[in-house]
Amino acid sequence: MTDLLKGQVALITGAGSGIGRAAALLFAREGARVVLGDQSESVQATAQAIQVAGGQAVALQMDAGLEADVVKMVATAQSEFGRLDVAFANAGISGGRSSVFDSTPEQWSEVLRVNLIGPWLMVKHAGQALVNQGQGGSIICTASVAGIRSGAGGAPYSASKAGVINLVMVSAQQLSESGVRVNALCPGLTETGMTKPTFDYAKDKGVSHKLGRLNPLRRAGQPEELAQVALFLASAQSSYVNGQAIAVDGGLSSSHPVTRQLPGQTAV
């Protein structure tokens, strides 16, 4: 432990599992007091794990895409801990693998509500609280490599994550001179609650070794690996990083589709 977040207060949505839970545990180990949100009651278990380890955590069952719930989360940080320093808008849903042809307006509306409106609400309300506090701060939004280019998610999901990437750019500019930084984390295939069906299917078929084989590291990511990058963006170590979308994907997004080749071979 290096106490990178000692004395700070952090909000994390989607903290009941996956990247959000890993980030909550890591932020707490690094000295942060945390307010955790998730639709699932599993967020209570995340908070309890932190408390048992000697940390301070408050858990809220909430909907990250509802403004009243986000307002309550920000207010809880201020009332319970007296300040706010970091907001991690991590909650998201996959919406399935539907294409532009077989998806429905209802699917698009729900995916955009949670995945894009949710982060905007966090920027709006946590950002205002940070500006009012006058001491800077960090806002992190979970986007995806699916928002960088096609091939990593369904149409509604990919569009929502592309929106998150642009949201952090616009927000970083509109928070100019406040000292509040806004960045996006772009995971590749990572073993989380959202991707559990994919990992379970691969295990059932005996092909788990094929997961993540399209990236140069030839493996899927783990939530703890993403949490480490979120910690970097939350801490003063990233004090000059702003308005960026950082891919944490084993190198997947570093290339266009190519035929695999051995060293010394010429690409076709």
> What phi and psi values does residue 34 have, to the nearest 5 degrees?
-125, 145
CB 92 within 8 A of CB 141: no
Alpha-carbon gap, residue 167 to 160, rounded angstroms: 10
Q: Tell me which residue has tokens 């989360």.
A: 73
Alpha-carbon gap, residue 1 to 225, rounded angstroms: 16
SS3 138: strand
Alpha-carbon gap, residue 29 to 222, rounded angstroms: 18
Active site residues: 157
SS3 245: strand
Q: Tell me which residue has tokens 């907001």.
A: 87
